């Protein structure tokens, strides 16, 4: 769908409720259960996990595993994100989801090496004709709006090429843009500080809604980013993974009660019982590890038990035991906030300086503690061996259960034959 004027794009945005707080697309992490939790706690718009367009069209089981849109009553507004470089392939994938989402989003932000190999994500920004062609094709052919999520182009200190590309995508039919205020090189340990000035510059240069992304670890960050950039909304990814109550200041929207990490884990697992993640416990465990990261570091035996869990109920049990034992929590949005016990804040080192153009002060990013320092070679080797041993032990347990089950079935069959 292509809007005839930017004003119509804004009308569409307002028809979605003009959401201010957005949950980012995250591979294997922004699944339906997690989206539902975020929506309960202040998020107004969610993205699906990124989906590979070619695999969506070629592998029958891929769509079932990766596209899990809920009903319109519980999982809207929802943007479905696709990655790819061939307009016809991406269009074919988009047609598989267009009737279950409010927009189809194009991924021009993934900085991982696999995106270079697959020719998608942030690496397409260096082929500006490709993103524009993708937007133009989908905007012309689909029945829902087309949006794009991107990063700052490399070696573009004055933002001229980034802004020009975004203006071209707007002209090609994009209804909305989401800009992550980092380049693809600013990734993982080298992420640095998000450049909100760049986002502000884009907001002023285009006429369609812009979502700001990057550096959002607290409600205060979100409000500061909105005020600084003038964006229509603000998006969080990693910060939201650890604290899905980020956008409600960790206060229950219904009761006003404080929601700590133990409560978040239990709420998430309760939702999983009704909306099982498409990839099963692998997804659930991943969320639990982030939600109660500090507790599992303080109680490593429970971390190992979580690795061995075989059901959501077992995950519930281990999380309940952690809550009973007690642990030093980060206590987000309180006077007792302690970033040393946070999964998200632990790797935001103060030594990583913001870009020269940045003129804002984000939430403090502490120096890494000794416990977070890079392990020695011997420590890394020991950890790898320990992980291998745990996997082998887990495989032996599973094999033993399968053998016992087969033996039981055979015994029953023999008894029936007799």
The Cα–Cα gap between 21 and 38 comes to: 10
Give catalytic status of residue 225 as yes or no.
no
Note the pLDDT of residue 192. 73
Longest CA–CA separation in the chain, Å: 84
List residues bridging with 177 in a β-sheet: 148, 210
Question: Measuring CA to CA, which residue among 100, 350, 110, 341 is closest to residue 213?
Answer: 110
**Residue 288 lies inside a defined structural domain of this protein:** no
Question: Measuring CA to CA, which residue among 72, 82, 12, 13 is closest to residue 47?
Answer: 82
Instruction: Give, in degrees to the nearest 5, the angle at Cα 349 between 344 and 354.
Output: 105
List residues bridging with 47 in a β-sheet: 79
**Residue 197 lies inside a defined structural domain of this protein:** yes
Torsion of CA 121, 122, 124, 126, to 10 degrees: -170
Note the pLDDT of residue 347. 62
Note the pLDDT of residue 363. 43
**Residue 403 lies inside a defined structural domain of this protein:** no
What the block records as the tokens of 92 is 């074919």
What the block records as the tokens of 294 is 């500090």
Q: By residue range, what is the domain housing residue 187?
A: 6-248
**Low-confidence stretches of the chain (pLDDT beneath 70):** 188-191, 347-394, 412-418
**Residue 190 lies inside a defined structural domain of this protein:** yes
Per the rule left: phi > 0, alpha: psi between -120 and 50, beta: everything else, 42 is left
**Nearby residues of 221 by Cβ (< 8 Å), 6 or more positions away:** 215, 239, 362, 363
* Dihedral sign (CA 252, 276, 111, 129): negative
**Residue 292 lies inside a defined structural domain of this protein:** no
Question: Measuring CA to CA, which residue among 281, 260, 408, 235 is closest to residue 341?
Answer: 260
**Residue 175 lies inside a defined structural domain of this protein:** yes
Note the pLDDT of residue 23. 98
* Dihedral sign (CA 399, 400, 401, 404): positive
Note the pLDDT of residue 358. 37
Note the pLDDT of residue 360. 39
Instruction: Encode burial over 361-394: b for 16+ CB neighbours within 10 A, e otherwise.
Output: ebbebbebeeeeeeeeeeeeeeeeeeeeeeeeee
The Cα–Cα gap between 38 and 26 comes to: 13
Note the pLDDT of residue 406. 77
The reported pTM is 0.83
Domain count, the chain: 1
**Residue 367 lies inside a defined structural domain of this protein:** no
**Residue 41 lies inside a defined structural domain of this protein:** yes
List residues bridging with 107 in a β-sheet: 149
Among 46, 110, 166, 272, the active-site one is: 110
The per-residue pLDDT for range 11-20, each reduced to its tens digit, is 999 999 999 9
Note the pLDDT of residue 375. 39
Note the pLDDT of residue 396. 73
Note the pLDDT of residue 407. 76
What the block records as the tokens of 101 is 């989402």
What the block records as the tokens of 368 is 């890494």
What the block records as the tokens of 395 is 């495989």
Note the pLDDT of residue 398. 73
Looking up residue 204, the CATH number of its domain turns out to be 3.20.20.70
The Cα–Cα gap between 383 and 329 comes to: 25
């Amino acid at each position: 769908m292509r809007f005839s004027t930017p004003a119509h794009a804004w009308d569409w945005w307002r028809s979605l409720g003009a959401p201010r707080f957005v949950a980012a697309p995250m591979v294997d992490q922004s699944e339906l259960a997690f989206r539902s939790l975020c929506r309960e706690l202040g998020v107004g718009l969610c993205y699906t996990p990124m989906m590979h367009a070619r695999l969506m069209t070629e592998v029958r089981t891929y769509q079932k595993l990766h596209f899990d849109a809920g009903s319109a009553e519980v999982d809207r507004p929802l943007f479905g994100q696709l990655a790819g470089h061939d307009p016809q392939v991406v269009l074919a994938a988009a047609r598989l989801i267009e009737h279950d989402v409010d927009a189809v989003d194009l991924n021009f932000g993934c900085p991982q090496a696999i995106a270079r190999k697959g020719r998608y994500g942030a690496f397409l920004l260096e082929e500006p004709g490709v993103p524009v062609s993708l937007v133009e094709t989908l905007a012309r052919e689909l029945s829902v709006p087309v949006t794009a999520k991107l990063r700052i182009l490399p070696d573009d200190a004055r933002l001229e090429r980034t802004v020009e590309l975004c203006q071209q995508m707007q002209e090609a039919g994009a209804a909305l843009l989401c800009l992550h205020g980092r380049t693809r090189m600013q990734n993982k340990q080298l992420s640095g500080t998000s450049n909100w000035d760049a986002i502000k510059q884009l907001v002023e240069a285009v006429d369609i809604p812009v979502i700001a992304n990057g550096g959002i670890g607290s409600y205060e960050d979100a409000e500061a980013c909105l005020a600084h950039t003038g964006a229509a909304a603000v998006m969080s990814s990693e910060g939201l993974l650890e604290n899905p109550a980020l956008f409600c200041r960790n206060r229950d929207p219904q009761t006003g009660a404080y929601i700590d990490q133990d409560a978040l884990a239990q709420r998430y697992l309760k939702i999983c019982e009704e909306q099982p993640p498409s990839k099963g416990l692998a997804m659930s465990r991943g969320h639990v590890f982030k939600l109660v990261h500090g507790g599992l570091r303080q109680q490593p035996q429970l971390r190992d038990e979580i690795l061995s869990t075989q059901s959501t109920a077992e995950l519930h049990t281990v999380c309940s035991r952690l809550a009973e034992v007690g642990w030093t929590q980060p206590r987000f949005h309180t006077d007792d906030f302690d970033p040393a016990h946070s999964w998200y804040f632990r790797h935001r080192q103060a030594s990583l300086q913001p870009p020269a153009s940045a003129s804002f002060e984000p939430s403090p990013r502490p120096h890494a503690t000794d416990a977070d320092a890079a392990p020695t070679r011997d420590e890394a080797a020991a950890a790898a061996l320990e992980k291998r041993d745990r996997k082998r032990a887990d495989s032996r347990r599973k094999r033993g259960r399968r053998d016992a089950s087969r033996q039981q079935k055979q015994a029953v069959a023999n008894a029936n034959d007799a």
